[in-house]
């Protein structure tokens, strides 16, 4: 009876070693089954906090059990990849400055799947997921021992903080699971709640996405509510503030090691105002060229141009009036509306300066 157990444990250790060799920073194993956070997720949806993300309630039933998205699987190899939390903050959230992490992570998880099949000498039924299926990834990651849910809703690991992507390879193998991460190491700290410019963290571990700057600049398809535009400041795409202030990131955030996630040349060394002006001037072809293979394309040209107008409105530099005036002729009404708001902000600043 001893030998099979030793061999099974050896396989799990080899799986993790291979995951590290592929460039992942964390790896753990979880048994698939009912999601512990399913009820909390349903309550979150019921409060309307998903906003325009209609794909979330659409598959809520499958999210309740991690065996349902891909029938027949029994275990999850859960991995995390650091995306450079020590890099300077800026107009674009750190995760989105390089190539699309979905492609990078999926490629590595599929390589892990192929290695596993070769290691076992036959096909292994399974599928890789990176934000692409009805799975509560944080739930799996905590069960795999990778960290705890921070008050900013991110999974936090005590060794590398929270600036990392999560992915999972679901397989039809009876792997011995790791011990779940049971501790809550946030203590009495509430820095993330206090730092959020739009008060999107309505209570510890509860995010109203409709107020979150990441949601407003990426997922929201329509007008950004006027009361939330000024708090966005110069953030063009995404937001890292609740992670920046977290003591675990201040102490343990890692340098970027994956070359494909390095900032693109089009973003390097450019401040928010410069980027905003460039985006407002783009036509469809320029947008496709600039953001090919980038996660920033998710917001589409109209969304990024809308965000750019808000940034220029918050910067409120009179020198940007010509750019914003040109944006009043933009082919998207959404952009024209936000450009008009930005121009009114500059006019208001000029009037205050003349008093």
**Which domains are present in the chain?**
1-257 (no CATH), 264-350 (1.25.10.10)
Tens digits of residue pLDDT in 253-296 = 999 999 999 999 889 889 999 999 999 999 999 999 999 999 99
Residue closest to 196 by CA, chosen among 185, 209, 186: 209
Answer whether residue 170 shows pLDDT above 70.
yes
Q: Which of 58-62, 202-206, 226-230, 270-274 has the lowest mean pLDDT?
A: 58-62
Rounded CA separation 15/115 (Å): 9
Place of tokens 């994956």: 258
Known catalytic residues are: 131
The model carries a pTM of: 0.94
Tens digits of residue pLDDT in 84-131 = 999 999 999 999 999 999 999 999 999 999 999 999 999 999 999 999
DSSP 71: T
pLDDT for position 6:
43
**CB under 8 Å to 35, separation ≥6 — which residues?**
41, 63, 64, 65, 66, 136, 139
Residue closest to 296 by CA, chosen among 313, 314, 278: 278
Place of tokens 């969304």: 303
Rounded CA separation 201/217 (Å): 17
pLDDT for position 123:
95
Sign of the C-alpha dihedral computed for residues 173, 175, 178 and 179 taken in this order: positive
Show the tokens assigned to 167. 């992915």
Answer whether residue 4 shows pLDDT above 50.
no
Residue closest to 96 by CA, chosen among 306, 233, 276, 299: 299
């Amino acid at each position: 009876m001893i030998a099979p157990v030793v061999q099974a444990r050896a396989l799990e250790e080899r799986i993790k070693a291979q995951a590290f060799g592929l460039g992942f920073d964390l790896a753990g194993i979880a048994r698939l089954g009912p999601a512990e956070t399913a009820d909390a997720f349903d309550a979150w949806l019921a409060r309307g906090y998903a906003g325009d993300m209609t794909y979330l309630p659409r598959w809520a039933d499958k999210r309740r059990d991690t065996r349902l998205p891909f029938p027949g699987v029994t275990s999850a190899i859960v991995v995390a990849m650091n995306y450079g939390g020590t890099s300077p903050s800026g107009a674009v959230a750190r995760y989105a400055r390089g190539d699309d992490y979905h492609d990078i992570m999926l490629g590595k998880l599929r390589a892990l799947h192929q290695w596993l099949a070769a290691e076992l000498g036959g096909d292994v039924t399974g599928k890789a997921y990176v934000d692409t299926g009805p799975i509560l990834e944080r739930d799996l990651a905590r069960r795999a021992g990778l960290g705890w849910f921070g008050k900013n809703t991110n999974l936090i690991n005590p060794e590398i903080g929270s600036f990392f992507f999560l992915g999972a390879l679901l397989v039809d193998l009876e792997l011995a699971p790791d011990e779940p991460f049971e501790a809550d190491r946030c203590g009495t700290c509430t820095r993330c709640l206090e730092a959020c410019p739009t008060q999107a963290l309505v209570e510890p571990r509860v995010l109203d996405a409709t107020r979150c700057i990441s949601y407003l600049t990426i997922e929201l398809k329509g007008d950004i509510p006027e009361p939330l535009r000024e708090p966005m400041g110069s953030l063009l795409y995404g937001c890292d503030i609740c992670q920046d202030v977290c003591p675990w990131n201040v102490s343990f955030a890692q340098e970027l090691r994956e070359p494909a996630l390095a900032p693109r040349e089009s973003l390097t060394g450019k401040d928010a105002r410069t980027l905003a002006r460039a985006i407002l001037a783009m036509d469809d072809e320029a947008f496709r060229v600039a953001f090919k293979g980038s996660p920033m394309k998710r917001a589409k040209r109209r969304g990024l141009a809308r965000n750019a107008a808000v940034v220029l409105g918050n910067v409120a530099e009179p020198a940007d009036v010509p750019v914003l005036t040109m944006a009043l002729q933009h082919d998207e009404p959404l952009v024209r509306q936000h450009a008009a708001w930005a121009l009114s902000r500059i006019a208001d600043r000029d009037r205050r300066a003349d008093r």
